[in-house]
């Protein structure tokens, strides 16, 4: 995850790009959980969403490191 990505001469931190990708996955998972009425079982919805995003970010980071080697 160390380094920058060069997109048409604009250097972006790798973490910023991974966070954008993770947000797209988060929207997908959040939509599925909403349709399944999963949030009725969750005590603190905002805390759950932050934890879900953190878990997804860790998974995307691990997957990106695996694919880069």
DSSP 8-state class, residue 36: T
DSSP 8-state class, residue 43: S
pLDDT recorded at residue 9: 87
pLDDT recorded at residue 6: 81
Phi and psi torsions of 4, nearest 5°: -125, 155
pLDDT recorded at residue 2: 63
SS3 10: strand
Number of domains forming the structure of the chain: 1
Domain that holds residue 24: 4-68
Q: Which secondary structure element, helix H or strand E, spans residue 7, and what is its range?
A: strand 4-7
pLDDT recorded at residue 35: 98
User: pLDDT for 7-57, tens place per residue?
Assistant: 888 888 999 999 999 999 999 999 999 999 999 999 999 999 999 999 999
Q: Which secondary structure element, helix H or strand E, spans residue 25, and what is its range?
A: helix 14-35
């Amino acid at each position: 995850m160390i380094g920058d990505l060069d997109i048409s001469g604009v250097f972006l931190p790798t973490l910023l790009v991974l966070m954008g990708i993770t947000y797209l996955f988060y929207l997908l998972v959040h939509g599925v959980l909403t349709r399944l009425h999963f949030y009725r079982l969750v005590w603190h919805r905002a805390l759950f969403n932050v934890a879900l995003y953190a878990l997804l970010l860790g998974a995307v980071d691990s997957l990106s490191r695996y694919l880069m080697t």
